[in-house]
Structure 1
Amino acid sequence: MSIKIQSVRGTKDLYGHELSRFNYVVEQAKKAANLFCFEEFYTPIMEFSKVFKKSLGEDSDIIGKEMYTFLDRGGEEITLRPEFTAGVVRAVVSNGLQQNMPLRLFSYGPLFRYERPQKGRQRQFHQINFELMGLDSPLYDAEILSLASTILKNLGIWDDVVLNINSLANKEDRTRYRSALVDYFTKYEKDLSEDSKNRLKMNPLRILDSKDENDKKISENAPLLSDYYSDESKDYFDRVLNLLNNMGINYEINPKLVRGLDYYDHTIFEFVTDKLGAQGTVLGGGRYNGLIGMMGGPETKAVGFGAGIERLMELVNLSDPDYVNSATIIKIGNIDEAVISQIAYMLRDGGIPSVIAHQDNPGKQFKYADKIKSKLCIIIGEEELKNKTVKIKDMKSGHEVSVLLEDMIDSASNLMRS
C-alpha cells in the first residue's frame, strides 16, 4: 500500500499565480530598499537558541510556545528563526560591523513559529525586514515609516491599511508605568488568564497585548503609558508625529499598542487592515535602542520593521497577464531536432525566453503555446528550412510575418516590445 506524502501542517507550496504574487511583493520591497539606500543582508535560518531567548524575553509567547527548537548532534540547542531582528543584530555584532555604522539593512526569507494554522498565519511564513542602525532621532523613525508607506503604496494596498502608532517612552518612564500596571492588574489577578497571571510577574505590559477576551475587558480601564511620559519622551513622540504630518502620512494613536517583543522603546507602530479577519497586522516595528547592547555589542540606537509577505499577498490585486514575453518554437513536418535546437539557442542567446513545443501535431503545439501564454510562436517548416526563414506569429493579434533566420532576433524583439 502506497503512502501519500503531504506537506507539513502549517506550510505551503508556492507556485503559479501565488508565486507571482510572492515575487511581486519581494520585487516592490527591493525597489523601496534601493530607493532608500538599504543593502541586502542575509543571516542563517537557524541560530543558537540563546540569540532569541536573550532578545525576545523569556516570558514572550514566541519563546514559551512557538519556537522550533532542537538539540543538534553536537548537543547544541538550535532554533529556527521566529523573527529577523535578533539574528540580524547577532550578525552585526559577531562580524564587527558596528564600525560601519550607520547600517541600512534589508532582508527577506522564511520564519518559523509553531502556531495554529489559519488564514494569514502559517508555521513557516515569510517576511520582508528592514533595519536602520546607528541613528537616534525622530527623523529616522519617520524615515522608516516613510519607507514602509512607500512599499504599501507601491503594492497598491495603501487604502486598505491604517497606521497605528504609540510610544513606549524611555526605560525610566516604563519602569514607573510598570509599577502602576502591577498595582492595577493585581486587583484583578484571579480573573486574568493563566498567561496574563505569568505576565503580571514578568512583564505586565504584555497583558495589554493579550488576545483573551476577559483580559481585554480588564485592560480597558488600565492606566495609560502616556500619563507617565517624561518631557523627553513626550517631545520625542511629538516630533515623530509632526514629521509624519509633514509627509502626509495619516495615523491613529493607539495608546494600548505595545507590540509583542521585549526590545522596543519609544516609537512603535503597526499597519493594520480589516480585510484579513483576525490576522489584521500586515507590517509592524519600532525603535529598539537597547537590543544591540543586550546582544554583546556597544549601546547602539536602531529602528526597523518586518512585514508578512503572505499577508501582503492576500491584499495585493495582481491579475495574470494575457501573455508573457516568451516564444514557443513550433515545428511543422519532418524537421531535424538539430535545427530546432539551433533556433532555441539563437533565441535564448538573443535574450528571448523560449520553449520547444513537445507535441508532434501542429494544432496541439499552438494550443500548448496558448496554454503557457507565449506572446510569440516561431514556426519552422520544410519550406522555411529551404528558404532559411521562419514565421513569427503574434499570439495576441494573430498577425504572422515571414523573416530571414538571420533577422529572427531583431524581429522577435520588436514584436515582444509592441
Structure 2
Amino acid sequence: MMKNIQSIRGMHDILPDQTPMWRWLEARISRVFAAYDFHEIRLPILEKVEVFTRAIGQSTDVVEKEMYAFEDRNGDVLCLRPEGTAGVVRSAIQHGLLHVPGLKVWYQGPMFRHERPQKGRQRQFHQFGAEVFGLEQATTDVELIALGERLWRELGLAGRIRLEINTLGDREDRQRYRRKLVDYLEPFRERLDADSQRRMETNPLRIFDSKSPETQAIMADAPRLADELGEEARAHFEQVKSMLDRLGIDYTVNTGLVRGLDYYCRTVFEWVTDELGAQGTVCAGGRYNDLVAMQGGKDTPGIGFALGVERLLAMLEAAGVAASQHADAFVVSQVGDADMLAIAERVRDAAPGLSLATALGGGSMKSQFKRADRSGARWCVILGEAEFARGEAAIKDLRGDSGQEMVALDRLPQRLQALLAADTGD
C-alpha cells in the first residue's frame, strides 16, 4: 500500500471549516483599505531573484537563509516571493504607475520563507500589504498608521495591539551611526552571539533584533541612531509624533526598532501584541525613500506596511470571534432527480443571493432530513410527491419555531428570498 503524501512542512491547507473566517477577515481588511482610497494590485508569486536581492539586501537573513530560490529550465534564477513590497515596486516601475504622485495600492496573498515552523511563523504565510508612492510628507506616514488603528477597531482588537515607532533617519545618518555603533561593539565582539558577530560586518543595526540575553544587555548601552539624525529627518519624525498625538493614537518610541530589511529609512513602526508569544509583531512597515531607485526607477519616496493574516486569525480565535458558512436552504425530495435539480436551478436563477443545497445522494426522507439538519441550513425545502404534483413545495424552519408552510413552486424563490431578508435584517 502506497504511503499517503503529506503537505510540505510549514505549508498548511486551509480547510472548508476555516475559510469562512479567512473570508470574514479579508472582507473587513479590504473594506478599510477602500475607505482610504487604496486600490488592489495582484502580483506574481514567482519573481526574478534580483527583485529581492537588490531591495532587501544580500546580508539580510531573508536573502542569506530563508528565500526559496532556484534555477529554472531557461537558466533564470527565480524565487518564491518572501515579501510583497519589492514586487509592488517592480510592478509599478515596469508599468509606469509612478508618474503621478500619490499611488496607493494594496495586495494580499501567500509569501514564502524557509525557516523553522512555529506558532505564528510558517514557511508559507499570508499577508495583506499597503504601499504609497510619491509622497514624502509626514502626513502620509500618519494616515497609513491611522489606517492600521482603524483596522484594529474594525476587527474588535483595539486595546490588544500597541504601536511602536522609531526613525532610521536618512542614508547619511545611518552611515554615520553605523560607524559609531561598530566602534562601540568592537570591544564586545567575542561576547556577541554568532549571528550578531556576522552582522557586525554586514548590517550592525540588526544586532538590536538579537534574542541573546547577553547581546541584549550589551545593546542596552549602545549609542542610539536618534542622536545622529540630520535636521530634516528629525523634523519629519517630530511631525509624525505631533500628528499622532493630535489624532489621539497612542504610541511608544522604541529606539531599538530597526526593521529587518535594508530598504527602510525615516519612520518605521510595528503593531505588537503580548498574546502570540515570541511572534508578537502583527503588522510592521515604514518608509523606503530609496527603494524605487534601487530597483532601477527614478527617485520616488514610498511607505508601506504588511500585516500577518495567520497572526490576526490567532488573535481573533482567542477573542472568540467566529464565522461559519452553510447553505440558507436544503432541498429534500421524493420526486425524480431531474425534477429536483430543475426546481433548484429555477430558485438559483430567480434568487441569486440564496445559497441552496440539494440531497444529491438521495435516500429515504428520514436520512435526507438528517443531512439537512447537519448542514446548518435554516430552512428545508420539501418536494413531496403529492405536493409536487399539485405544483407546491413545503418550507420548514429547521432552526426556529415558525413551523412549516406550503408555497406554490413558481413563488418558491421569492418566498425564500423574503425569509432570508427577514432573517438577516436586510
Shared fold, TM over 0.5: yes
What SS class does the counterpart of residue 128 from structure 2 fall into? strand
Distance in 1 between residues matched to 2:212 and 2:394, nearest whole Å: 67
Residue 373 of structure 1 aligns with an amino acid whose one-letter code is: G
1:101 shift after superposition: 3.2
Matches of 2:141 and 2:156, distance apart in 1 = 23
Relative to the length of structure 1, the TM-score reads 0.96
Match of 1:412 in 2: 416
Deviation at 1:16, TM superposition (A): 3.1
> 1:58/1:295 Cα in 2 relative to 1: closer, same or farther (>3 Å)?
same
Structure 1 residues 153-232: aligned runs within 5 Å: 153-232=153-232
How far apart, in 1, do the equivalents of 2:228 and 2:64 lie?
30
Question: How far is the alpha carbon of 1:408 from its aligned partner?
Answer: 0.8
Match of 1:402 in 2: 406
Percent sequence identity over aligned pairs: 39
Give, in whole Å, the separation in 2 of the partners of 1:18 and 1:373: 16
- Check the 8 A contact 1:325/1:416 in 2, yes or no: no
Aligned-partner Cα distance in 2 for 1:73–1:105 = 33
Residues 128 and 309, structure 1, Cα contact 8 Å, conserved in 2: yes
- The gaps in structure 2 that reach 5 residues or longer are none
Question: Is residue 329–residue 356 contact of structure 2 (8 Å, CA) maintained in 1?
Answer: yes
Q: Quick one: distance in 2 between partners of 1:212 and 1:42?
A: 39
2:107 is paired with a residue of what secondary structure? strand
CA distance in structure 1 between the aligned counterparts of 2:213 and 2:57, rounded to whole angstroms: 24
- The farther-off stretch of 258-267 and 192-201 is 192-201
d(CA) in 2 for partners of 1:206 and 1:319? 38
Q: How many angstroms apart in 2 are the aligned matches of 1:289 and 1:341? A: 59
Residue number in structure 1 paired with 2:365: 362
The correspondence of residues 8-407 of structure 1 with structure 2, limited to 5 A, is 8-316=8-316, 317-321=320-324, 324=326, 326-332=328-334, 335-349=335-349, 350-351=351-352, 352-357=354-359, 358-398=361-401, 399-407=403-411
> Structure 2 CA distance, aligned partners of 1:93 and 1:19?
34
Tell me the distance in 2 between the aligned counterparts of 1:364 and 1:248: 59
Q: Give the structure-2-normalised TM-score.
A: 0.95
* Residue range with higher mean Cα deviation, 138-147 or 233-242: 233-242
Q: Following the alignment from structure 1 to structure 2, what is the Cα–Cα distance between the partners of residues 190 and 107? A: 43
Q: Residue 147 of structure 2 aligns to a residue in which SS? A: helix
Q: Is the 8 A contact 2:129 2:306 kept in 1?
A: yes
Q: CA deviation at 1:102?
A: 2.0
CA contact (8 A) 2:21 2:323 kept: no
* Secondary structure of 1:159 counterpart: coil
Distance, in Å, in 1 between the alignment partners of 2:264 and 2:128 is 19
Q: 1:22–1:310: 8 Å Cα contact kept in structure 2?
A: no
**Any idea what SS the aligned residue of 1:261 has?**
coil
Q: How many Å separate the matches in 2 of 1:245 and 1:222?
A: 28
Residues 395, 404 of structure 2: 8 Å contact kept: yes
Equivalent residue letter for 1:257 = L
Contact 2:327 2:357 (C-alpha < 8 Å) held by counterparts: no
Using the TM superposition, give the Cα deviation of residue 234 of structure 1 relative to its aligned residue in structure 2, in angstroms.
Answer: 1.9
